[in-house]
Structure 1
């Protein structure tokens, strides 16, 4: 008589992530806790990370902590088991390659296109920095040194070392170097050169949208405006930032009576509609020039991003009409 034995199927136990204790070194010190977790828990949704922080599952030196806590050298971060993407699950952040204007082992400067956010949040699932990290998975450190509005194009600095990031933050805070933008505004600008120093205050609309306005209770802001060329009803300006407030150039110009063409927050709908009919569907603000010392070597850097084709086309149109 033959006997048949049913063999149990061989199964591979699911790997369950365990608690990790990570010690902060010199290069990691100064980072926000949430940014640190994003890099060390690649693939974990940000919502899960923030939930773990709020619930106390993430701890620093055995204590509960907030997401904006700045890590110090020697801190011990408790990272709980977190859900990772399943094998074969599609990437939630598509890698992207942006035009590189300058790069070495400490600093990356790209030419950001209009319409791309610099980071995820506020209804945007990912931005330039997340896409750069996805495209460069072996890069140990990539952090934004500053911000550009989503609809602003041009030069964006990304630090590739913690020491470079801290040095860039110091330089920008102390207004060392020069960042110059080109803006097409509605109106016939009067002065060849003018300093705008209205203080700026952030506020929220009833729908929760972030806005900025001129207000005596606001923060000090300084923009130097140089007239480049007049086109009748419109003027091409160069705006140099001496401080780096949110929406600074946009609000300074709009509050002076010269809103930027295509600005959906501080400009007129009819102007935006007029330029859309001409095929121009963005804000005309471009970070074209950057002069700054290299954050580690001190070497003077003078970088340039050409005016995008869509902006050049509008300038050509205005030249022909003038």
Structure 2
């Protein structure tokens, strides 16, 4: 089948860099601008000098500066590569679940069951849906990530300067994160800091896993008990580090994996809760506290528990 082609990009373009792209590498700027063009081709047109900055040849790693004029040569983009529409449910959820927004950042209550971005086997995630929902926004980028099955507070930067500042916060101790999790069984402790190193991408039966290992990276999570039920425990989990699956693996190390965790939890317990009508991971990014990246104002953002999680707690009381 012959592919149709989008002919809207068959003229030389000169793009002036604004604060939305200041500090971005040239190659990453072009990859985002020329969606659907193979990366090998983008690097080739840079090497050949077809892409120029302020009339001069440039390197792919060159950091763009405010006011730079970037020459982009004529290039065809296959229509086959255009963005696949996000699921209607995800788009409608994002419309109603905005927790905070101003000119610099957007914070949403991410629904469970959706990846934060598209990837292998996933055509469209939360960030792609937001860009579809806000076509007039020139810059929307994920500040951090949540697992596909985790719900709750997710920050998106609307300016590159805000993205840089927030990345610094997350690399240090500038963001306080609090999750709500329902653990399997009755955890009798009041609170405990789990200090166990985590090693990721360990293959187990063909599945990529995270495990506790002295060869892993340092990881600490504070668990604080909130409520005891007859066969479950509601806790607040506060990760001091930000490793992949950190709360889930540390909870399993306690001997009380998160309910609904099909990777690290007990199958029979999860089966029991499914029979009671509960089908998702009970892990929710409940609260974020950080300084606004532009104004410095102290922010505390809370994402209410989704209805299906609150309904399960109501049954347990």
Under a length normalisation based on structure 1, what TM-score does the superposition of the two structures give?
0.81
User: Does the 8 Å contact 1:22/1:79 carry over to 2?
Assistant: no
Any conservation in 2 of the 1:58–1:80 contact (CA below 8 Å)?
no
Question: Is the partner of 2:44 in helix, strand or coil?
Answer: coil
Counterpart among 188, 200, 203 of residue 201 in structure 2? 203
Superposed, which structure 2 residues align to 1:174-185 within 5 Å? Answer: 174-185=172-183
Matched, 1:40 2:33: yes
Match of 2:275 among 277, 283, 288: 277
Structure 2 residue ranges without an equivalent (≥5): 1-6
More helix by share: 2
The structure whose Rg is larger is 1
Alignment of 1:104-123 (within 5 A): 104-123=102-121
Q: Distance in 2 between matches of 1:272 and 1:82?
A: 50
Q: What is residue 295 of structure 1 aligned with on the other side? A: 293
Distance 1:206 1:193, change over 3 A: closer
Shift of residue 232, structure 1, vs aligned partner: 2.6
- Note the C-alpha offset of 1:90: 8.8
Task: Decide whether aligned partners of structure 1 residues 75 and 151 sit closer, same or farther in structure 2, where only a CA change above 3 A counts.
Answer: farther
Q: Secondary structure at the match of 1:273?
A: helix
Q: In structure 2, do the counterparts of structure 1 residues 214 and 206 end up closer, same or farther at CA, with 3 Å as the change threshold?
A: closer
- Cα 1:75–1:241 change in 2 (3 A) is farther
State the Cα deviation string for residues 2-46 of structure 1 (Å, max 9, x = none): xxxxxxxxxxxx6663565767666424446675345423xx44x
1:195 partner SS: strand
Post-superposition offset of 1:154: 0.5
- TM-score, reference length from structure 2: 0.82
Q: Aligned with 1:254: secondary structure?
A: helix
Q: How many Å separate the matches in 2 of 1:70 and 1:275? A: 53
Q: Check 1:18–1:183 CA distance in 2 against 1; reply closer, same or farther (3 A cut).
A: same
- The equivalent position to 2:38 in structure 1, one of 46, 49, 58, is 49
1:101 corresponds in structure 2 to: 99
Bigger CA drift: 24-33 or 185-194? 24-33
> Which residue among 9, 17, 20 is the counterpart of 2:10?
17
Shift of 1:264: 1.6
Q: 1:115 to 1:128 in 2, by over 3 A?
A: same
RMSD (Å), alpha carbons: 3.0
Where does residue 3 of structure 2 map in the other structure?
none
Q: 1:77 to 1:101 in 2, by over 3 A?
A: same
Q: Deviations over 1:266-294 (max 9, x none)?
A: 11222222222222111000011111111
Tell me the residue number matched to 1:82: 76
3-state SS of paired residue (2:130) = helix
Q: Distance in 1 between matches of 2:230 and 2:284?
A: 21
Give the equivalent residue in structure 2 for 1:6. none
Pick the aligned partner of 1:92 from 84, 92, 100. 84
- Please give the per-residue CA displacement for 1:243-267, whole angstroms capped at 9, x wherever unaligned: 1111111111112211111112111
For 2:214 and 2:78, the matched residues in 1 are separated by 48
